[in-house]
Each structure stands twice: as C-alpha cells, then as structure tokens.
Amino acid sequence: MIIVKTAEEIELMRESALIVSKTLGMLAKEVKPGVTTLQLDALAETFIRDHGAVPGFLGLYDFPNSLCMSPNAQVVHGIPNNTPLVEGDIISIDCGALKNKFYGDHAYTFEVGEVAPETKKLLEITKKSLYIGIREFKKGNRVGDVGYAIQKFTEDHGYGVVRELVGHGLGRKMHEDPEMPNYGKRGKGKKFIERMVVAIEPMTNLGTHRIKQLKDGWTILTADGKPSAHFEHNVAMVNGKPELLSTFKYVNDALGIVSEEEAEFRRHQLH
Ligand code: MG
Ligand code: MG
C-alpha cells in the first residue's frame, strides 16, 4: 500500500534528504586516490550526526556501516573496507539519514581521479537516465512509465539495466511501496498519487545486466566484472508533478560542475 504523506511530512523528508545531499557534497571533496572507503564512512557518520540525524543504513537489516560503498564492478550494497581507492576507480556511494522519523536515501557514483572514457560515459548516461525517469513520475502515469523511460534510454546506449534491485517508496520506512524498477512497460503497474514519495535509482552496468552476490551476503557485483553506476534521488509528487527533495547541488559545487539538470524539478531555494 502506498503511504501518502502530508505537506508537513514532505517538508520533514526534504530535511532528511538534504542532510544526505550535503553528506555526499562533503564526500565529493574527499574521494581521491589513497583514501579508504572506511575513512569516508567515518566522515559521513560524523557529518550526519552533527546535523542532528542518524545514519539511515547503520544497523538497517543488520548492515554494518553508514554508507554502502560499491567500487567499480560492485553495483550496490558494498561494505566499506581498508582498501585505498586508486586513480581510475569509480565509487558508488549510497547514503541514508534518519531525522524526525523520516528517511532520506540517495546515491552518486564518483570518479577517482581520471577514469576511462567508456566509464565516464556510463556515469553520464546513468545520471541522465535518472532525470529521464523522474520526468515520468507525474499525475496520470504509473510505475511502468518510469521504468520504461529509464530502460529505453539506457539500453539504447547498449548498457545493462539491473533487474533484481529496484527503487522504492520512502518515508518512515526506508523501503515502502511501491517498488520502482528501472525497467518496465508503459501504462503498467501502480498508479502514482499526489503526495507520495519515492526513491528513483537506476543501477546501470557497462556490460551485461546480470549480477551476482558476494559471500558476505551484501555486495552485489556485475556478472562480467565490468563497471556499474548508481544514481538516486528522492522525489515527491506535488501538484501532479515531480518535486526533488534531494539534490546533487552540493556535489556539483564541490566538483565544479555547472548543471541545470535539476532546475525543472525544483520549487525550493537551496542554501
Ligand atoms: Mg540508496
Ligand atoms: Mg534507495
């Protein structure tokens, strides 16, 4: 069952989402060769707690850390460790925060130094597919419309769309209805309703869409060992249109990226 939020609850969710956005912005400056994912995890935990929130993933389903850190061929749910990042890596960072009983949950794939052109392109297309999906999250549409749009754009570029892991409704729980696959058929699935909130999160592989799981019971990686990218936003339906609660503004500011990608989905001034 989709849990509709009040206008006040959406404002609380915006607060939680912005803490995650700012955490990713802080991390953007720290992602470089030599740093370990455990060091980044510790920075994020402190930052989240300093902002009056609790790390959303720590202890959730018994996950051991604050961030899911998935380098290179890892898709999602990687566990932070002591291996330093090296030039040419990519690192998908998924971050959650819980404040005022509501979750924020979003993700960005960072480049470590200079990465291969084909990997850079994978990141660019995956991020674009996220906004293409968000555009379909509107009155009259259904879950399948978002999935179809993401899948079409992604597969037109020859990439693999992960099937087993999907986006989701978000609120007092990290995972609420509906599931939001990054594939689907137009006009199929649950109908969107006013003041619902979802996490839309394409997970895109350079090669095959197939995945496998490490024996740690968490880490998902591509079956062919090729890189995978992951970008995620939290979106509320307000007046029949998608409104972003999270933002990559802080990441963009940290990395010197000028982007208008979010302008059409934003009603609020950010500080
Ligand atoms: Mg996430
Ligand atoms: Mg999520």
Give the number of the ligand closest to the Cα of residue 75. 1
Average model confidence (pLDDT) across the chain: 97
Within 10 Å of residue 243's Cβ, how many Cβ atoms? 19
Calculate how far, in angstroms, residue 95's C-alpha sits from the geometric centre of ligand 2.
Answer: 9
Give the number of the ligand closest to the Cα of residue 199. 2
Residue 113 — φ and ψ, nearest 5°? 65, -140
pLDDT above 70 coverage of the chain, percent: 100
pLDDT at position 237: 98
Calculate how far, in angstroms, residue 185's C-alpha sits from the geometric centre of ligand 1.
Answer: 23
Q: What is the pLDDT of residues 78-119, one digit of tens each?
A: 999 999 999 999 999 999 999 999 999 999 999 999 999 999
Calculate how far, in angstroms, residue 65's C-alpha sits from the geometric centre of ligand 1.
Answer: 13
pLDDT at position 39: 98
Asked if residues 130 and 137 have their Cβ atoms less than 8 Å apart, the reply is: no
Query: What is the spatial distance between Cα 147 and Cα 184, in angstroms, rounded to a whole number?
Result: 5
- The answer, yes or no, to whether residue 148 has pLDDT greater than 80, is yes
Better-predicted residue by pLDDT, 259 or 271: 259
Give the number of the ligand closest to the Cα of residue 108. 1
All domains of the chain in start order, with CATH: 7-265 (3.90.230.10)
Calculate how far, in angstroms, residue 149's C-alpha sits from the geometric centre of ligand 1.
Answer: 20
Query: What is the spatial distance between Cα 6 and Cα 8, in angstroms, rounded to a whole number?
Result: 5
Asked if residues 179 and 166 have their Cβ atoms less than 8 Å apart, the reply is: yes
pLDDT at position 270: 78
> Half-sphere exposure of residue 57, counting CA atoms within 13 Å on the CB side?
24
Element (H, E) at 140: none
- The answer, yes or no, to whether residue 145 has pLDDT greater than 80, is yes
Query: What is the spatial distance between Cα 115 and Cα 92, in angstroms, rounded to a whole number?
Result: 14
Categorize the per-residue pLDDT at 267 as very low, low, confident or very high, splitting at 50, 70 and 90: confident
- The answer, yes or no, to whether residue 269 has pLDDT greater than 80, is no
For range 63-71, the mean pLDDT:
97
pLDDT at position 247: 98
Within 10 Å of residue 6's Cβ, how many Cβ atoms? 9
| Residue 53 structure tokens | 């929130």
- The answer, yes or no, to whether residue 271 has pLDDT greater than 80, is no
pLDDT above 90 coverage of the chain, percent: 98
Q: What is the pLDDT of residues 157-208, one digit of tens each?
A: 999 999 999 999 999 999 999 999 999 999 999 999 999 999 999 999 999 9
For range 117-123, the mean pLDDT:
98
